[in-house]
Chains A and B, each alone.
Chain A
Amino acid sequence: MVPPVQVSPLIKTARWSALLIGLIYGKQRYDYLKPIAAEEKRIEEEEKKLREEQERIYKQLSEGLSDTLI
């Protein structure tokens, strides 16, 4: 087997510090995006409720109209 190559210290430090920085960056970005997404979900829920309410009213009205259309 080929003997393992001795990696230069510069490359080793660069690799593992890139790993660490990536870890920190991923965690911070996740923490930043989570409340924003929760807020958007909440707004979406409210708008959906509003829309469904309006559709219900519309349906009831249209049923009422179709009852009187002879």
Chain B
Amino acid sequence: MAQAVQKFVAKVPTLVGAAVNYSKPRLATFWYYARVELVPPTPAEIPKAISGVQDLLKGFQSGRLGQTTVRDALRNGLVATEVLMWFYIGEIIGKRGLIGYDV
């Protein structure tokens, strides 16, 4: 038992090194995409977002939204679901627990 633990402890540096080597290029790819796609909006982009919402409303009133194809509707539904998931992630961070409220 003690020998097995010792052997494992001796192997930990190699394991850590292997993990770092494995994750470095994948982390680089992640940053490459996240730096462009996941950044918060700059203050200059917020008026564009507001005008985007107004465009949506106008399209809804004019009936243009009834013309969207099923494919586009599914794509928009997926995007809306993703935005909804960010809300739940914010709730997880706010309640400081993964599952349920820790009261």
- Residues of chain A touching chain B, judged by Cβ–Cβ distance below 8 Å, are 1, 4-16, 18-30, 33-34, 36-38
Total interface residues on B, CB under 8 Å, equals 33
Does B101 lie within 8 Å of A29, measured CB to CB? yes
A1 CB, nearest partner CB in chain B, Å: 7
- A-B contact list, 20 entries, CB within 8 Å: A4-B33, A9-B45, A9-B46, A10-B48, A13-B45, A15-B82, A18-B87, A19-B90, A22-B94, A23-B90, A23-B91, A23-B94, A26-B90, A26-B92, A27-B94, A27-B95, A29-B94, A30-B94, A33-B103, A36-B103
Does A9 lie within 8 Å of B48, measured CB to CB? yes
B18 within 8 A of A: no
- Residues of chain B touching chain A, judged by Cβ–Cβ distance below 8 Å, are 29, 32-33, 35-37, 39-41, 45-46, 48-49, 52-53, 56, 79, 82-84, 86-96, 101, 103
Does A14 lie within 8 Å of B83, measured CB to CB? yes
Does A4 lie within 8 Å of B96, measured CB to CB? no
Does B101 lie within 8 Å of A30, measured CB to CB? yes
Interfacial chain B residues near A8, Cβ < 8 Å: 52
